[in-house]
């Protein structure tokens, strides 16, 4: 098994991020384990010694499941780190199943008749010292969001636009060092990671906010897959990003190069340590665009 993600109990559930991929799936064991469940990542690995937020039916709502050291899902028990799971294996608090909006849907879910779409890619890391300074995530209520995800939600609230999470078939490491290495390898070979989510109704939108973290002074290669897939000619693209010091790194110009028929605005970027504290500035900037 090449990918193991062991969550120290001390980190707590709030640190655990959703990782979903359309090809990954739940499976039951062979006899005598036909009533036991495991989660197949469909890349030769499976969930083991970890908690995962999993959205089995693709409705954008994930439940949280724990897996033992052999990969079996815990059910109807108290997990070794002290949390209750029900008969379906879902984490419960006082009998209430805990859920998280994953935002990962096959295609944007229309909230009304908005012509605004907020498409974003985020990969919140699970290491780092806290959720405010220097980390790649923001604490929101009882859960956590990636920095770009948090910005996307803020923009959606300000505009009434529809949210769409750009996601890949393959899972990425959520620990910083392996993620940095993988991103560098992908960039070196100009990779185009296969996407697992797709906009089936692009004609419904005139304005597309496009959000991403800065990776190695560029957009993540999944964003190149995204721009390869769609022709945004005649539409307005508004880039937004979160970064660790590089700013936009010229990525809006790169988007102009990739989508020459679109009107690409200069966009908005914020340092990863300031994402939560900057939300009113982001809102003000969105309002100043006078999109409605
Ligand atoms: C693989 C990788 C490479 C990164 N490279 C850069 C970089 O070149 N410049 C920079 O300013 N920040 C860089 N960062 C920091 C991210 O842009 C920053 O943490 C961002 O807020 C992550 O957003 P997310 O939580 O939505 O994924 C990098 C982060 C990762 C994981």
User: From the alpha carbon of 137, which atom of ligand 1 is closest?
Assistant: 25
Is the pLDDT at 80 greater than 70? The verdict is yes
Parent domain of 249: 116-288
Domain closes at, from 101, 134, 163? 101
Same domain, 83 and 154: no
Is the pLDDT at 219 greater than 90? The verdict is yes
- What CATH number has the domain bearing residue 275? 3.40.50.360
pLDDT of residue 131: 44
Is the pLDDT at 248 greater than 90? The verdict is yes
Same domain, 129 and 202: yes
Same domain, 164 and 213: yes
Binned at pLDDT 50, 70 and 90, residue 3 comes out as very low
Cα–ligand 1 centroid distance for 143 (angstroms): 21
Same domain, 48 and 120: no
pLDDT of residue 129: 43
The closest of 120, 91, 106, 124 to 18, measured between CA atoms, is: 124
Q: What is the mean pLDDT of residues 34-43?
A: 88
Q: What is the mean pLDDT of residues 128-141?
A: 57
Same domain, 77 and 161: no
Report the percent of the chain where pLDDT is more than 70: 81
pLDDT of residue 141: 59
Is the pLDDT at 205 greater than 90? The verdict is yes
Binned at pLDDT 50, 70 and 90, residue 8 comes out as very low
183: Cβ contacts below 8 Å, ≥ 6 apart: 215, 216, 220, 221
Task: Tell the residue nearest (CA) to atom 10 of ligand 1.
Answer: 244
Same domain, 231 and 281: yes
Report the DSSP beta bridge partners of residue 138. Answer: 145
With residue 24 as reference, give the H or E element that holds it.
none
Q: Tell me which residues have their CB closer than 6 angstroms to ligand 1.
A: 122-124, 136-137, 146-149, 179-180, 183, 213-217, 242-246, 272
pLDDT of residue 128: 59
Binned at pLDDT 50, 70 and 90, residue 82 comes out as confident
Mutation test residue for ligand 1: of 244, 246, 254, 278, the one with most atoms within 8 Å of CB: 244
Helix axis angle for 279-288 and 147-159, nearest 10°, is: 40
Mean pLDDT across the chain, nearest whole number?
83
pLDDT of residue 173: 83
Q: What is the mean pLDDT of residues 189-218?
A: 95
pLDDT of residue 106: 62
The Cα–Cα gap between 68 and 109 comes to: 35
pLDDT of residue 57: 66
Is the pLDDT at 269 greater than 70? The verdict is yes
Same domain, 91 and 143: no
- What CATH number has the domain bearing residue 48? 2.10.270.10
Domain closes at, from 73, 101, 129? 101
pTM metric for this prediction: 0.70
Report the DSSP beta bridge partners of residue 144. Answer: 139
Is the pLDDT at 20 greater than 80? The verdict is no
User: From the alpha carbon of 275, which atom of ligand 1 is closest?
Assistant: 21
Q: How many domains does the chain have?
A: 2
Cα–ligand 1 centroid distance for 174 (angstroms): 12
pLDDT of residue 229: 97
Same domain, 95 and 120: no
Cα–ligand 1 centroid distance for 66 (angstroms): 28
pLDDT of residue 22: 42
Binned at pLDDT 50, 70 and 90, residue 132 comes out as very low
pLDDT of residue 59: 66
- What letter would DSSP give residue 118? E
Same domain, 25 and 139: no
The answer to whether residues 115 and 206 touch, using CB atoms and an 8 Å cutoff, is yes
Whose tokens are 């890391």? That residue is 125
The Cα–Cα gap between 192 and 123 comes to: 16
Is the pLDDT at 256 greater than 80? The verdict is yes
Binned at pLDDT 50, 70 and 90, residue 172 comes out as confident
The Cα–Cα gap between 101 and 141 comes to: 12
User: From the alpha carbon of 182, which atom of ligand 1 is closest?
Assistant: 1
Cα–ligand 1 centroid distance for 95 (angstroms): 38
Same domain, 261 and 127: yes
Mutation test residue for ligand 1: of 172, 247, 272, the one with most atoms within 8 Å of CB: 272
Mutation test residue for ligand 1: of 146, 187, 210, 243, the one with most atoms within 8 Å of CB: 243
Binned at pLDDT 50, 70 and 90, residue 241 comes out as very high
Is the pLDDT at 135 greater than 80? The verdict is no
């Amino acid at each position: 098994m090449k990918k193991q993600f062991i969550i120290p109990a001390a980190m707590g559930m709030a640190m655990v991020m959703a990782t979903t991929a359309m090809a990954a799936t739940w499976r039951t064991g062979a006899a005598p384990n036909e009533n036991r469940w495991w989660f197949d990542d469909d890349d030769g690995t499976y969930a083991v010694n970890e908690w995962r937020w999993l959205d089995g039916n693709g409705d954008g709502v994930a439940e949280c499941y724990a897996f033992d050291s052999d990969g079996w899902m815990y059910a109807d028990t108290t997990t070794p780190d002290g949390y209750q799971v029900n008969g379906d294996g879902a984490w419960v608090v006082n009998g209430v199943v805990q859920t998280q909006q994953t935002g990962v849907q096959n295609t944007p879910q229309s909230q009304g008749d908005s012509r605004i779409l907020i498409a974003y890619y985020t990969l919140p890391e699970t290491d780092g010292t806290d959720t405010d300074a220097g980390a790649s995530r923001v604490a929101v209520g009882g859960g956590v969001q990636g920095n770009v995800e948090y910005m996307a939600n803020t923009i959606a609230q300000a505009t009434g636009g529809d949210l769409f999470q750009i996601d890949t078939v393959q899972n990425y490491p959520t620990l910083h060092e392996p993620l940095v290495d993988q991103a560098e390898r992908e960039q070196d070979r100009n990779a185009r990671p296969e996407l697992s989510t797709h906009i089936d109704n692009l004609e419904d939108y005139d304005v597309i906010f496009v959000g991403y973290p800065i990776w190695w002074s560029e957009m993540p290669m999944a964003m190149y897959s995204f721009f390869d897939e769609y022709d945004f000619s005649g539409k307005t693209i508004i880039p937004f990003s979160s970064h660790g010091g590089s700013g936009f790194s010229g990525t809006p110009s790169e988007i102009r190069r990739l989508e020459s028929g679109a009107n690409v605005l200069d966009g908005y970027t914020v340092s990863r340590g300031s994402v939560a504290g900057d939300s009113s500035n982001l809102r003000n900037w969105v309002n100043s665009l006078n999109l409605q």
